């Protein structure tokens, strides 16, 4: 049997074409002409693409197309908070080491820590943050339940938990408490509101199941 | 994090060309491969390394092989989440499934790759502290040897006393995995067990045989031999997620009341996954009893050389070994 290709890996590529397109669309001052020329000549001779200086990255943020101008070293967390216009502060910067989960966002519906994700790697992908959970004034079931169950004290970890719980319940709204706990094991709450967060998650799951039944 | 350029090759040969040709510490810091980024970015944020270029492997063809069990082929870019979620792997290579699931958090497993997990750098706090010029960073001394060494090695230490942090490495050595690497001179395969190097035998600033311009391509795991089952037990300081303080990967073929054959690899106790060969030999053909489990644990830890603060690892690991043997014997698993 031959090994099969992983479609996920293919999705990760920022194609040369999309990079050039993105760079071409950038404000004239933000991408140096020499870099443009270099990128173009590299594309022509099929040399590997090299991103340096400031580059434009285009992606979807909570369903809306957007772009940021960042360096290769800029993390997605920093891109959202410090480079996006207007600043998008839903993902919180706490440990910057992948230990606390406060910066959790969903990339193509998978929870990741945005502090350990290079912004250039989200080109063309769908990023969701806690700011995109509500539809207008209508809170999402997870947000509703977290309010109702008092699932926060200081609230700093809350957007990260909301994203981990959302990802878990979108996969399986009937998730057990054990599954919710595992889904949240990468999120840290220093106030210790875990029992309330877990009960809110279970309540939100029931609400989502109910809505699904109602919709049928 | 210092500024760097991000090269995006599409072939392995291009990627290898973009990596350093020299072997000195300065050249190695020129460029590094980037897989999932879940370890290297933490090193760069703390200025432990300051590469001028990262070579992004995400677009490189040939690193994304995936053939599910029983004969496993896992490209080095395989996400740990995918390994942990594969029911075929859970069925045929249980130790790997448990080990992959035990790594860090959901968020990390969604981005972390198998190759990155095997090549991640040590967790020793002297190494991870930017201001400590320890031997792993090219300094003269291992500060853990006489310092705060709670998490350090009880086997195979000197001149560095790190423990290898990879859960998957321990499980994959147990399962007799083979690794393929590629460099300027082409591709080569070797048993994963030989991939990892002790600080006393390989370069003290590295944990494996990979040169700066070599890339881990894929890992292959043979189908389990008939009658063999495996498990992975990991002891952590906290419940949610953590690196192992000690871990035991165990496989065995148990026939009736007899342990016909067994294989045992210990994790987080040595700078490499630590094969407990004498315990394996002892177990072959022994009656499957509490007394046997206890003696096997004693034998496995007989040569341990604890430092000042990590003596607890000896009884802890003995306990894990007995627990693992009990589990494979159909006893309670928790």
Q: Which B residues in the span 209-268 are in contact with A, Cβ-Cβ below 8 Å? A: 218, 240-241
Report pLDDT for A46. Answer: 76
How far CA A169 is from CA of A52, A63, A125, A164, A211, in Å, comes to 39, 19, 21, 9, 13
**B37 interfacial to chain A (CB closer than 8 Å):** yes
B255 Cα to chain A: minimum distance (Å) = 32
> What is the nearest CA distance from A148 to chain B, expressed in angstroms?
25
The reply to whether B145 falls in a domain is no
Read off the CATH number of the domain in which B244 is found.
3.30.390.50
Q: Cβ contact (<8 Å) for B38 and A50?
A: no
Q: Which domain holds residue B240?
A: 228-328
Does the distance separating the beta carbons of A116 and B38 come in below 8 Å? yes
| Residue B288 included in any domain | yes
B10 shares contact with chain A (CB less than 8 Å): yes
Partners of A135 in the β-ladder: A138
Which domains occur in chain A, in start order? 7-91+114-128 (no CATH), 141-211 (1.10.150.120)
Q: How far is B297 from chain A (nearest CA, A)?
A: 31
Would residue B297 count as lying in a domain? yes
Q: Which residues contact B30 (CB under 8 A, 6 or more apart)?
A: B20, B51, B52, B53
The answer to whether residue B2 is domain-embedded is no
For position A38, what pLDDT does the model report?
A: 55
Does A116 contact chain B (CB < 8 Å)? yes
Mark yes or no for CB contact B45/A97 under 8 Å: yes
CA separation, residue B15 to residues A150, B3, B20, B280 (Å): 51, 20, 10, 41
Give chain A's residues under pLDDT 50: 1-33, 42, 44
The interface residues of chain B toward chain A in range 73-132, judged by CB-CB distance below 8 A, are: 73, 75, 77-79, 81-82, 104-108, 110-111
Q: What is the mean pLDDT of chain A?
A: 86
- Nearest CA to A190 out of A115, A106, A103, A102 is that of A102
Cα torsion angle, B174, B87, B326, B312, sign: positive
Asked if A101 is an interface residue toward chain B (Cβ–Cβ < 8 A), one would say yes
3-state helix, strand, coil in chain B (%, to 5): 30, 25, 45
pTM of the model: 0.91
Tens of pLDDT along chain B (334 residues)? 999 999 999 999 999 999 998 766 666 678 999 999 999 999 999 999 999 999 999 999 999 999 997 899 999 999 999 999 999 999 999 999 999 999 999 999 999 999 999 999 999 999 999 999 999 999 999 999 999 999 999 999 999 999 999 999 999 999 999 999 999 999 999 999 999 999 999 899 999 999 999 999 999 999 999 999 999 999 999 988 999 999 999 999 999 999 999 999 999 999 999 999 999 999 999 999 999 999 999 999 999 999 999 999 999 999 999 999 999 998 744 3
Complex ipTM > 0.85: yes
Of A51, A104, A182, the CB nearest to B5: A51
Calpha distance B58→A53 (Å, rounded)? 20
Residue B43 lies in a domain: no
**C-alpha span between A3 and B76 (Å, rounded):** 13
> What's the pLDDT at B26?
63
* Contact state of A48 with B241 under an 8 Å Cβ cutoff: no
By CB neighbour count within 10 A (0-12 exposed, 13-18 middle, 19+ buried), where does A65 fall?
exposed
pLDDT at B202: 84
What pLDDT is recorded for position B23? Answer: 66
**Is B148 among the domain residues?**
no
Into how many domains does chain B fold? Answer: 1
Q: Would B258 be classed as within a structural domain?
A: yes
pLDDT score recorded for residue A35: 52
Establish if B321 belongs to a structural domain: yes
* Contact state of B41 with A49 under an 8 Å Cβ cutoff: no
């Amino acid at each position: 049997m031959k090994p099969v290709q992983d479609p996920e890996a293919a999705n990760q590529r920022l194609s040369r074409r999309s990079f050039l397109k993105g760079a071409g669309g950038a404000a004239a001052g933000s991408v140096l002409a020499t870099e443009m020329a270099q990128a173009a000549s590299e594309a022509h001779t099929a040399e590997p693409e090299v991103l340096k200086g400031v580059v434009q990255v285009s992606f979807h943020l909570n369903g809306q197309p957007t772009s940021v101008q960042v360096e290769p070293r800029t993390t997605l967390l920093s891109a959202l908070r410090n480079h996006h216009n207007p600043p998008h502060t839903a993902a919180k910067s706490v440990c910057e080491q992948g230990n606390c989960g406060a910066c959790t966002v969903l990339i193509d519906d998978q929870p990741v820590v945005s502090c350990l994700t290079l912004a250039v790697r989200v080109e063309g992908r769908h990023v969701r943050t806690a700011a995109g959970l509500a539809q207008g004034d209508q809170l999402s079931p997870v947000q509703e339940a977290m309010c109702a169950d008092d699932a926060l004290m200081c609230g700093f970890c809350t957007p990260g938990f909301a994203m981990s719980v959302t990802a878990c319940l979108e996969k399986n709204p009937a998730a057990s408490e054990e599954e919710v706990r595992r889904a949240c094991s990468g999120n840290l709450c220093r106030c210790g509101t875990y029992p309330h967060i877990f009960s809110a998650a279970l309540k939100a799951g029931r609400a989502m199941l109910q809505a699904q039944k109602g919709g049928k | 994090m210092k500024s760097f350029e991000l090269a995006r090759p599409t072939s392995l040969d291009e990627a290898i060309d973009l990596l350093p040709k020299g072997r000195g510490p300065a050249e190695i810091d020129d460029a590094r491969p980037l897989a999932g980024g879940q370890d290297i970015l933490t090193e760069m944020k703390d200025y432990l390394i300051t590469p001028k270029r990262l070579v992004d492997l995400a677009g490189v063809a040939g690193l994304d092989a995936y053939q599910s069990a029983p004969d496993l082929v896992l490209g080095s870019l395989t996400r740990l989440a995918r390994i942990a979620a594969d029911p075929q792997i859970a069925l045929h290579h249980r130790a790997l499934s448990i080990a992959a699931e035990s790594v860090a958090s959901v968020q990390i497993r969604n981005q972390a790759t198998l190759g990155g997990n095997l090549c991640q750098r040590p967790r020793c706090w002297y190494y991870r502290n930017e201001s400590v010029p320890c031997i792993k960073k090219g300094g003269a001394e291992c500060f853990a040897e006489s310092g705060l060494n709670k998490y350090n090695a009880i086997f195979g230490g000197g001149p560095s006393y790190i423990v290898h942090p990879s859960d998957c490495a321990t499980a994959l050595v147990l399962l007799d995995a083979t690794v393929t690497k590629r460099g300027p001179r082409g591709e080569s395969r070797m048993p994963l067990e030989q991939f990892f190097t002790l600080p006393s035998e390989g370069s003290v600033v590295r944990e494996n045989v990979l040169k700066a311009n070599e890339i881990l391509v894929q890992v292959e795991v043979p189908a389990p031999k008939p009658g063999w089952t495996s498990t992975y037990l990991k002891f952590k300081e906290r419940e949610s997620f953590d690196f192992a303080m000690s871990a035991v990967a165990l496989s065995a073929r148990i026939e009736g009341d007899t342990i016909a054959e067994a294989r045992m690899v210990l994790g987080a106790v040595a700078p490499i996954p630590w094969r407990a060969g004498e315990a394996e030999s002892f177990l072959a053909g022994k009656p499957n009893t509490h007394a046997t489990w206890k003696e096997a644990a004693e034998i496995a830890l007989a040569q341990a050389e604890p430092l000042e603060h990590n003596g607890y690892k000896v009884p802890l690991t003995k306990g894990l070994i007995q627990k693992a043997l009990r589990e494979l014997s159909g006893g309670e698993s928790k």
